[in-house]
């Protein structure tokens, strides 16, 4: 089964839709076998040694920095 390419790429600058105040970088892109869509591991402020796993987000939970600047923060909440 072939799937669409990822929405975001490693190195892209993104914001979490729930926390638009902080700019983050996509660190890794992987395929989620159960949801059948890409997941994105991004920079977080949580210490790496405290988390038993790497937190990840789906494309719908992120906004590309370019889009954030073009559309304005009020339309993306």
> In this predicted model, what pLDDT tens digit does every residue of 7-16 receive, in sequence order?
999 999 999 9
**Cβ-Cβ contacts under 8 Å for 61 (sequence gap 6 or more):** 16, 17, 18
The span from the CA of 65 to the CA of 77, in Å, is 14
Name the β-bridge partners of 29. Answer: 40
Domain boundaries, the chain: 13-19+26-76
The span from the CA of 54 to the CA of 18, in Å, is 18
- Structure tokens given for 21: 């105040």
Rounded to two decimals, what is the model's pTM?
A: 0.79
> In this predicted model, what pLDDT tens digit does every residue of 53-69 receive, in sequence order?
778 999 999 999 877 87
The span from the CA of 6 to the CA of 3, in Å, is 9
Cβ–Cβ < 8 Å for 12, 64? yes
């Amino acid at each position: 089964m072939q799937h669409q390419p990822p929405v975001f790429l490693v190195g892209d600058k993104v914001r979490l839709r729930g926390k638009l105040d902080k700019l983050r970088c996509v660190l890794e892109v992987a395929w989620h076998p159960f949801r059948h869509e890409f997941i994105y591991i991004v920079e977080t402020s949580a210490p790496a040694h405290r988390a038993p796993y790497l937190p990840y987000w789906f494309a719908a939970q992120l906004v590309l920095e370019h889009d954030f600047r073009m559309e304005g923060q009020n339309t993306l909440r």
